[in-house]
Each structure stands twice: as structure tokens, then as C-alpha cells.
Structure 1
Amino acid sequence: MQRALDFDKTPALSVPLPFFLNVPVFGLLAGLLITWADPQALASRWGGTALAITHLWTLGILGSAMLGALVQILAVACNVPLRPARLIAASVHILLTLGTLALVTGFLWWSPPAWFAAAVLLACAFMLYLGALSLALWQHRKQVYKGAREILVPVRGALTALGLTALIGVAMAVSLGMGNSLAHWLNSHILWGLLGWGGLLLMGMSFQLLPIFQLTEIFPKSLTRWLPLLIPGLLLAWSALDASSGLPRLMRETVELLLVGAYTIWIGTALQRLWQRKRPTAEPTSLFWFTGLLSLLACAPAWVWLRHGQSPQAETVLGVLLIVGGLGSVVHGMLYKIFPFLLWKHAQDAVVVPAHNPAHAKVYLKVLPKMAAYIPERPAQWHWAVYLLMLLSWILAAAGWPVAGLLAGPLLILASLLLAWNLGRALWRFRQALAAMAALPVPPAPAQPR
């Protein structure tokens, strides 16, 4: 495994920053929408409001963060930079943001023009992103760092799954705009999006980020080698069985059981590594990782409930556990690790030290905040506590408890505002540090010996 990251390959701050700032914005929109909607909006996944909230999460919150983080990770961990990074990132961010808003509008008002607009915008966003990353992976295939295979294999699978998810989603949006329905593709859209794109990317990131940032043991080689290959194969088998008619239902459920088992092996290993980490205290990122992994682990009994129970709420609870609990928790937790590091790194890079005047650097470093100062632990822990309460309220609301539905929206609004405050304060400290450096007098250079 690639244990060290080459931070000299870090992209410009303007590349991932807009994607990360989308997270609290779309979280606030989702919170406002569920507060405005009926308390039973989460009780079914088929209503327009529920579909709008779902895509605010999957595209606006999770999609934005994952697209921005992947560009960063591929550059520093694998030596696969995206070029021209600023132009591509800015274009994808605008297309993704507008496309998500158009899709949400289509679901809320059942508007064909909004669906057509969403299909065009999102198709362009994902074609540009996937095309640029595929080209970068091909061009730099010989320069990839030794030991980066554990990341690249699941990343390639995740990008393939993203392409299939986007293709099915765009086709469904166009079909809705034309007054038709492709409901039989819905399960494939969900499965490839959550277990393919989201699950594989999260797995690949855990192989790299948990050992480095949480000081855990390296994942077993057998797991990192075979699991990222097994899961796409099972997804393909499930899709083929789902599209076939006349085959026993037991065959598809067996493949689903194997998928649940494969992910449970990874989740159990990740939890064991995280519990036995060398870092003594549980920082906010650790707490979010624990919340996310435990939520994903809870998906196994939720799947059994879905397949063998009679409750109509089972699939909604499963969706909340996957999206809000599993993927959402980890995405928010990693923001508290990636965001302050990027600000600290770019503030350090702004220091220009003449070779003949090393005292210049000492003056600058006195005014630069340490990385931990950008987002202190206490505000981040408060955000985690509110996020945990919000997650519990969403699970209970999805299970059909109306009182929890009344709390789900306000708690998400509060969690999003806390995240926005923490990120905004970090950006303010970054700007203040740059301004302080610009205002510092340059110390005289030491006299040169004759």
C-alpha cells in the first residue's frame, strides 16, 4: 500500500473547494425541503418530495464531495493529476449543481422541461468528469506510484459504476420528460449508484485513509486484492438476473446475499482496524467513521427485513442507513480531515522564501495557523453530535414514526449550519493568514561574507 502521500501534487485550492462547499448548501436545502414537506415524506421512496430529497443527498451532498475528493486523492496518492484541473473542475461543478437543482425541480413540480434540462446538464457533467479522469488514468498509467493498486482497482470499479448509474439516471429523466416510465431500471440505478459508485469508492478510500490519518493497521492483502474485483462481478450478475425473466427469484437473492456478505467482511475489518487504531483519542473524523461503518453494518439486518418481512418501510430505512448513515457520515467526517489540511497546505505554499534570506520564512511561519487551528475539535464534535441525532430521527421517520419526521428537517438544517460555520471559519482563518503574511515587513537579508 502507498503509505505516504505526495502533497506536492496537490491541485489548486479552487479545484476541490467548490465541491466541498456544496455539501452544507445542499444539506440546508434538503433540511428546508423536509421541514416544509409532510412529516410522512420519508415514509415512502416513491413520492416526488422523497425523490427530490434523495437526489439532494446523492448528487448535491455525496456526489459533490466524492467528485471533489477523488481528484485530490488520485493526484496525491496515485500520481494521477487531472489536467487542466481548474477548467474541468469548474465546468463539472457548475453542470452538476445546476443539473441537481433542475432534477429536484422536476420531482417537486413533476415538470418535463426540468427533467430534460437535468438530463442534459448531468449528462454533460458526468461525461466531462469521467472522460477527463479516464484520460488521466490512461496517460499516467506508467507513472502510478508503487503500492497504489489498492486504491486504483476500486476507483476504476467505482468510476465504471458511476458511468452506469449516470447513464440509467439520464435515460430515466428523459423518459419521464416524455411522459413514459422506466421504473424497471430503478433498482439497477440504485444498486450501481450506492453499492457500486459509493460503496467501492468508500472502500478504496478506507484502504488508504484509515492507515494514514487514523493510524490503523493496513488492511489484509487478500481483502484489498480480491474484494474490489468480486463486488463489480456480483453487481453485473445481479443486473443480468434482474433483467432476465423466468429465472427463480432465489438466484437474484443469493447474489444479493453474497453482496451483503462481501461488504460485511470489509465493514467488519474496517471497524476492527479503527477500534484498534494507534491514535489514543477519537477525533471528530473517527466518530464520523464509526457512525458510518455501524450504519452500513446495520444494512445487513435491514436487508433481511426487506426480503423476508412484510413492512413497507423496510426499503426506506435501508436507503436512509446507506445514504445518510453510511456514505453521509464518512463524507462529513473526511471533510474535517481534508478541508483544514488543504487550507494549511496552500497557506504554506504561499510562503515565498528567497534563498538568501531564510529569516523571511521564520517571520511568515509565526503568523500561519497550525492545521488543527483551522477547525478546532470541539465545534466539529458538536456537529457530529447533532448529525447523529439527525440520523436517528431520519431512521425513525423512515420507519413510520411521525414525531421523528417533525425533527428530521430542523436537525438537518442545524447540522448543515454547523458544518457551514466550521468550514466558513476555516476559510476566514485562511484569508486572515494570507492577509497577515502580505502585511508583514520583509526582514533584511543577512550580510554576505566578503
Structure 2
Amino acid sequence: MQRALDFDKTPALGVPLPFFLNVPLFALLAGLLAAWTGPQPFVATSWNGPALALTHLWTLGILGSAMLGALLQILAVACNVPVGAARAVAGLAHALLTAGTLLLAAGFLGWRTDALVGAAVLLGAAFALYLAAVARALWRHRRQVYKGAREILVPVRGALIALACTVLMGLTMALSLGLGLPLPDWLGPHVLWGLTGWGGLLLMGMSFQLLPIFQVTEIYPKPLTRWLPLLIPGLLLAWTMLNASTGLPRLMRETVELLLVCAYALWACVTLHLLWTRKRPAPEATTLFWFTGMLSLLACAPLWIWMTHGHAPRAGMVLGAVIIVGVLGSVVNGMLYKIVPFLLWKHAQDAIVVPDGDPGQARVYLKILPKMAVYINERAARLQWIAHVAVVLCWALAAAGWIPAAKAAGPLLIVSAAGLIWNIGCALRLYRRTLEKIAVATQAVSD
């Protein structure tokens, strides 16, 4: 595995950044919706309209946006797999994803069949465009992939296949609801492939590359990076076949589920060990978010036992809340505190042109260019992490049916989202001021 990234292959800022900006905005929207609906999404069944709207604001608007944007970035700089016409693909996919997610949430809230059909069309176009562009890039650049990038590409390919399966099932169910057709019983596979396949595999693959670089940890053990990304898709496929079969013992499916839980628990334990023994002495906000995500992932094991053998009707909702908000939400939030400042710092640096290698002018630019750590205040990021931890705990308790937590879920998410918006907004303002200073310095040189 390589421990360096080819930053010269960084795509234009307009490729990943709009996806990342969706994260705090959709988090704010989800918080407002949860505050407006009150306890209803948490105390009703999984087919409750507000619950489905909130779920998809999280999975599509927050998590999906972040992961689609990050994948465009990581494929280019870590694997030498740039997506062709990246700006056009990203711009159109982002617009379709954003509009489709909003329309889908509106359709669930009012059970409007026309909105559900329209959302399926928009989201289907978004994911078809994105998956086709990424698949073409993977095939086209298959011989130019960096040595050592296999540990990333294997889980990425598995995640993309899982995403295609998740989207196909989701679109079929949305169209069935919208057109009044018989609804296929695909809710379980849709959730499993989406959370443990698409979300889990992609974050696993990114952790193999990003944690050793940005958190200065040791490299993941080679047997884990080699076999775990292959084992998980196999278990998902086996679970799907067993779930679709009739007359087979339930124990067979539960055994596969247990193996899947153990696989992710192993990754969580290794990740926690690497983070705990990292070479940087003080944890950053990103480190704290990763700790939160991995501890939440370990908590999924007893939650799965409770769901499977505890005969608790709400255990599944708690498990889903912990995975979405605690595991995926925490890691995505923490990654933004590294990726966004890096992108802004890198593109500000690229805007500098030193005429004839003039050392004096280079020193002028160095005084103008902020360090990457300055873009987001560490104390402000830690405060937002505290708010996010409160969100994780509150949403898990709300999913368990505790009414006070259900009432507080929306306001707490609003606070956390507002903190993230403020922090990213500060980074963007610093970037804009830096570009203005660079332009002034460049003009002074030319005069």
C-alpha cells in the first residue's frame, strides 16, 4: 500500500466540493424536519412517511453526497483513476441527486405518488450517470493504476456494486409505490446492501489509505486489507440468496449475519488500535470522529444480538440509527474536517504563480498562504464533535422509543449542523480572502 497521494491529480475544486457542501445543509434540513414532526418518525413503524423522509435525507443527502464526492477525489489522487469530464459529470450528478433527494423526502411526507415517481427518475439518472462514469474510468485506467492501490480499489469496486444493487432495489420500490404496483419485499436487502455494502465497504477502503496518511497511523495489516473487502460482498450475496429462499433454517441466515457483524467488528478493533497508537500525540477533531464511528460500530454487535434474539420490535430501528448516525455519520463528518481544508489549501496554492522562480516573490506568497490547519479552528471543530456525539446518543434513544429523546433529536441535529456550517463557512471565507490577496500580490508583481 502506498503512503502518499499524487496531489497533482487533484480534480478541480468544483468537482467534489458541491457534494461536501450538501452534508451540513441536508443535516440542517433533517434537523428541521425532525423538530417539526416531533416524536412521530421515531415511535411509528418503518413505513411511516416522516421516518422514511428522515432516513433518506440522511442516507442520500448527507452520507450519499459525501461519499460520492470523496470517491471522485480518492480515485484520482490515490489510484490514478481520474473520471473523464469530471466537472460535467459531478455537476449534473450533484444537481440530480440533490433535487431527487428533496423530491423523495417530499413524496414520503405527503405520500404523493407523482413526487415518488419524479424522485425515482431523477435519482435513477443521477446514479446511472455517476456509476457509468466511474466504471468507465476504472476500465479505461486499469493498466495505469498506482502500485499499492489494490487495497483501495477492491473495496471500492465492491462498494460500487453494492450501490448499484441498493439503487436498483430502492428505485423499484419507489416506482411501485408511485405507480400503485405490488410492492416487492426488498426492504431488508435494500437496507443491508446500502449500509454494510455501499457505505461500509467504501469507508473501509478509504480508511486503508487515509488513516495512515492523515492520522499518521501504522498501515493496516495486509491480510485484513486483502481478504476483508472480499469476504463482505460474499457474505452479502450469501445472505441475499438465503433470504430469498424458502424452507431453509433461519439459523443459516443468522450465521451469515453473525459473520458480517464479526467482519466489521474486526475492522473496528484494528482501526481503534491504529488510532490509539498513532504517532501524533494529541487527537484532532477528525480523530475523535473516527473514534466515535468505530465505537458505534462495535456497539452494533450487541444491538444485532438484541434484534435477533431479544424479540424487541424496536431493536432494528436502534441498530439502523446507530449505523447511519453513529458509524457513517461520524466518519463522514470527521473526514470533512480533513478533506475540505486540504482542498482549499491545495487550490489556493495552485493559484500562486511565481515569475521566473523569484525567491523574494515566493516569500511574499508564503506569508499570504495560510497553513492547512488554520482553515478550520480546532476548538470549534471539537465543540461540533461534542454536539454530534449528543446527536448520536439522542437519535439512538429516540429510535428506542424514548419520547424525550425523540423531541430533542431535531434541535440537537440543528445545533450540530449549524456548527458544521459555521466551520466550513469560515474555511471558505478564508479561502476567498486568500485568493484575493494572491490576486493583489500578483498584480503588484506585474505592475
TM-score (norm 2): 0.98
1:178 CA displacement: 1.4
Equivalent runs, 1:27-426 vs 2, <5 Å: 27-43=27-43, 44-355=45-356, 357-426=358-427
Contact 1:40/1:400, CA 8 A, preserved across alignment: no
CA–CA separation in structure 2 for the residues paired with 1:341 and 1:134: 26
1:442 CA drift (Å):
5.5
1-structure distance, mates of 2:435, 2:426? 14
Residue deviations 1:164-220 (CA, integer Å, cap 9, x gap): 000111111110011234351110100100000001001101111111111111111
Say what the alpha-carbon RMSD is for the aligned residues.
1.2
Alpha-carbon distance in structure 2 between the residues aligned to 1:221 and 1:82: 28
Per mean C-alpha deviation after superposition, the further-off stretch among 177-186 and 115-124 is 177-186
How far does residue 245 in structure 1 lie from its aligned partner after superposition? 1.1
Structure 1: which amino acid aligns with 2:19?
A: F
Q: Which residue number in structure 2 is paired with residue 20 of structure 1?
A: 20
Q: 1:18, 1:93 within 8 Å by CA — same for their partners in 2?
A: yes
The 1:129–1:444 alpha-carbon spacing in structure 2 relative to 1, beyond 3 Å, is closer
Task: State the alpha-carbon separation in 2 of the partners of residues 360 and 139 from structure 1.
Answer: 41
1:448 is matched with which residue? none
Distance change >3 Å, CA 353–CA 300, structure 1 → 2: same
Distance in structure 2 (CA, Å) of the matches to 1:327 and 1:170: 22
Is the 1:360–1:442 contact (alpha carbons within 8 Å) kept by the matching residues of 2?
Answer: no
Q: 2:385, 2:130 → 1: CA distance?
A: 31
Question: Closer, same or farther in 2 for the Cα pair 1:290/1:356, shift >3 Å?
Answer: closer
Q: Is 1:17–1:68's contact at 8 Å kept on the other side of the alignment?
A: yes
CA–CA separation in structure 2 for the residues paired with 1:444 and 1:123: 51
Question: Structure 2 CA distance, aligned partners of 1:196 and 1:356?
Answer: 49
What is the alpha-carbon distance in structure 2 between the residues aligned to residue 180 and residue 272 of structure 1? 49
**In 2, distance between residues paired with 1:298 and 1:129?**
33
CA distance in 2, matches of 1:431, 1:357: 25
SS at match of 1:375: coil
After superposition, give the CA deviation of every residue in 1:92-139 in whole Å (9 maximum; x if it has no partner): 000000110111011000011001101110110001000000000111
Greater Cα shift, 187-196 or 41-50 = 41-50
Deviation of residue 427 (structure 1)?
0.3
Deviation (angstroms), 1:443: 6.4
What is the rounded CA distance, in whole Å, between the counterparts of 1:184 and 1:45 in structure 2?
13
- Could you list the runs of 5+ residues in structure 2 that have no partner in the other structure? none
In structure 1, what is the Cα distance between the partners aligned to 2:403 and 2:263? 35
Q: Verify the 8 A CA contact 1:22 1:60 in the aligned structure 2.
A: yes
1:360/1:443 contact within 8 Å kept: no
SS in 2 for 1:182: coil
Matched AA of 1:217: E
- Which one-letter code corresponds to 2:399 in the other structure? A
Distance change >3 Å, CA 424–CA 236, structure 1 → 2: same
CA pair 358-286 structure 1, distance change in 2 beyond 3 A: same
Give the distance between the partners of 1:16 and 1:272, measured in 2 at CA: 30
CA displacement at 1:27 relative to structure 2: 0.4
Answer yes or no: is the 8 Å Cα contact 1:123–1:170 preserved in 2. yes
Between Structure 1 and Structure 2, how many residues are aligned? 445
Task: Give, in angstroms, the shift of residue 293 of structure 1.
Answer: 0.5
Q: Please say which of residues 283-292 and 45-54 is displaced more in the overlay.
A: 45-54
2:11 corresponds to which letter in structure 1? P
**Deviation (angstroms), 1:362:** 1.8
The percent identity for this pair of structures is: 66
- Deviation per CA, 1:277-333: give whole Å up to 9, x if none: 111011000000000000011001000000011221100100011000000000000
Output one character per residue of 1:15-42: Cα deviation in whole Å (capped at 9) or x when no partner.
Answer: 0110000001100110011101131422
For residues 89 and 38 of structure 2, what CA distance do their matches in structure 1 show?
Answer: 39
Q: Report if the CA contact (8 A) 2:40-2:50 is conserved.
A: no
State how far apart, in whole Å, the 2-side matches of 1:163 and 1:396 are.
32
Matched-pair contact (CA < 8 Å) for 2:61–2:98: yes
Gaps of 5+ in 1: 446-450
Name the CA distance, whole Å, in 1 between partners of 2:409 and 2:434.
Answer: 38
- One-letter code aligned to 1:365: L
- Counterpart CA distance in 2 for 1:375 and 1:418 is 11
Give me the TM-score of the superposition, normalised by structure 1. 0.97
Please give the secondary structure, in 1, of the residue aligned with 2:355.
coil
CA-CA distance at 1:76 after TM superposition: 0.5
SS in 2 for 1:184: coil
**CA distance 1:237–1:425, change in 2 (3 Å):** same
| Cα distance between partner residues in 2 of 1:282 and 1:186 | 39
Amino acid at match of 1:210: L
Between the aligned partners of 1:234 and 1:440, the Cα distance in structure 2 is 58
Distance 2:111 2:357 in 1: 66
Q: What SS does the aligned partner of 1:362 have? A: helix
